[in-house]
């Protein structure tokens, strides 16, 4: 303990000794003996609470290295010990049980209201720990916040942010620190829990006179050659999910859906990909499709209004 803590204990010990001397060795005790005894007991309670709080603060200071967590834990411990000490002092001074319960209830309610955010964050941490809503390494979304979970502690969850001004689910470089209370009243979208893949789409615009059947076959062949491993692993994870959830397996094979407009044909290429490789695979796939279509004179990328600009050589 620090020198300040030692001084505080010495002061309380001196007060206890002084009150004890007055109570047992002076004539004052005959008139105020009951009151003096209560003061001695209250002083002992305060000194014990001060001692316990100092010891726990020292332990927290040695074991908890994060500044925010250390401050929050010390604050919570101090409040709890103060609440217990105040309750014990009430027991000493208040003899009527009903009065004691009412006073203790009012004090407890005041403390809870004052520190409701702290208690909610701590409760949220307990929920995360036991429900395993997410864990370190998962990619999650909470409201407008997206990121990979870096750390989960008693009161806060730390994320490495993605999106915002950066496209393709890539990192922005910012660290997000969120109080764990969000898990109590917000929807947590987990991109990687139990199933670490997502479905992504690439839209291909063709001119109306393009050979759409050949385009479809080329797109399917190019895509399947790039994502073969993803399809295989995603099927295994889906099979595992069937044993855990009431779940009917989705078809993870690559699909193409056509949509015809007056001046174009839209091909929506749907494929499965690792959550954290989305932009990388999208780029590889786009390059592969452009290279494949470039050798086909009967496939024109673009709509009628943009044929002169986007027609492949």
Q: What's the CATH code of the domain at 176?
A: 2.30.30.60
14 and 49 inside one domain: yes
Decide if 10 is inside a domain.
Answer: yes
Cα dihedral 173→178→183→187 (10° resolution):
-40
pTM for the full model? Answer: 0.61
Q: What is the pLDDT of residue 140?
A: 93
Q: For the chain, how big is the Rg over CA atoms in Å?
A: 34
**What CATH number does residue 293 fall under?**
3.30.70.100
Decide if 119 is inside a domain.
Answer: no
What is residue 273's three-state secondary structure?
A: strand
Residue 147, φ and ψ in degrees, nearest 5: 175, 170
Model confidence band, residue 310 (pLDDT cutoffs 50, 70, 90): very low
Task: With CA atoms as reference, report the closest residue to 48 among 83, 79, 81, 26.
Answer: 81
Give DSSP secondary structure letters for 116-159: HHHHHHHHHHHHHHHH-S--TT-EEEETTEEEEEEEE-SSEEEE
306 and 265 inside one domain: yes
Decide if 127 is inside a domain.
Answer: no
96 and 13 inside one domain: yes
Decide if 253 is inside a domain.
Answer: yes
Better pLDDT: 167 or 266: 266
* Contacts of residue 227, Cβ cutoff 8 Å, sequence gap at least 6: 254, 271, 272, 273, 281, 285
104 and 7 inside one domain: yes
Model confidence band, residue 309 (pLDDT cutoffs 50, 70, 90): very low
Q: Dump pLDDT digits (tens) for 39-93.
A: 777 878 888 888 888 888 888 888 877 776 676 677 778 777 877 787 777 777 7
Q: What is the pLDDT of residue 25?
A: 57
Q: Dump pLDDT digits (tens) for 234-258.
A: 888 888 887 777 766 677 889 999 9
> What is the count of structural domains for the chain?
3
Decide if 162 is inside a domain.
Answer: yes
139 and 216 inside one domain: no
103 and 147 inside one domain: no
Residue 154, φ and ψ in degrees, nearest 5: -60, -35
% pLDDT > 70, the chain: 75
Q: Which domain holds residue 154?
A: 133-190
């Amino acid at each position: 303990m620090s020198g300040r803590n030692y001084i505080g204990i010495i002061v309380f010990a001196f007060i206890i000794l002084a009150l004890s001397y007055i109570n047992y060795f002076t004539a004052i005790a005959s008139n105020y003996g009951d009151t003096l005894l209560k003061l001695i007991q209250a002083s002992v309670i305060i000194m014990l609470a001060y001692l316990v709080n100092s010891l726990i603060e020292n332990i927290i200071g040695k074991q908890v290295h994060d500044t925010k967590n250390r401050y929050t834990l010390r604050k919570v411990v101090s409040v709890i010990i103060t609440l217990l000490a105040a309750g014990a002092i009430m027991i000493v001074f208040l003899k009527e049980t009903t009065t004691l319960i009412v006073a203790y209830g009012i004090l407890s309610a005041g403390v809870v209201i004052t520190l409701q955010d702290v208690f909610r964050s701590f409760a949220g941490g307990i929920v995360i720990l036991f429900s395993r809503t997410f864990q370190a390494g998962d990619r999650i979304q909470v409201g407008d916040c997206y990121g990979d979970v870096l750390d989960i502690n008693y009161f806060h969850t730390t994320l490495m942010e993605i999106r915002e001004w950066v496209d393709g689910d890539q990192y922005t470089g910012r660290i997000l620190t969120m109080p764990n209370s969000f898990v109590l009243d917000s929807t947590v979208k987990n991109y990687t829990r139990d199933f670490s893949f997502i479905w992504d789409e690439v839209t291909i615009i063709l001119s109306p006179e393009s050979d759409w059947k050949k385009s479809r076959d080329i797109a399917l062949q190019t895509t399947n050659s790039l994502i073969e491993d993803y399809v295989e692993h995603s099927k295994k994870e889906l099979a595992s999910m069937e044993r855990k959830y009431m779940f009917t397996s989705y078809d993870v094979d690559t699909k193409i859906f056509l949509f015809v407009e007056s001046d174009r044909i839209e091909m929506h290429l749907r494929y499965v990909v690792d959550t954290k490789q989305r932009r990388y695979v999208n780029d590889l796939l786009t390059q592969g499709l452009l290279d494949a279509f470039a050798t086909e004179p009967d496939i024109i990328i673009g709509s009628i209004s943009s044929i002169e600009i986007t027609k492949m050589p």
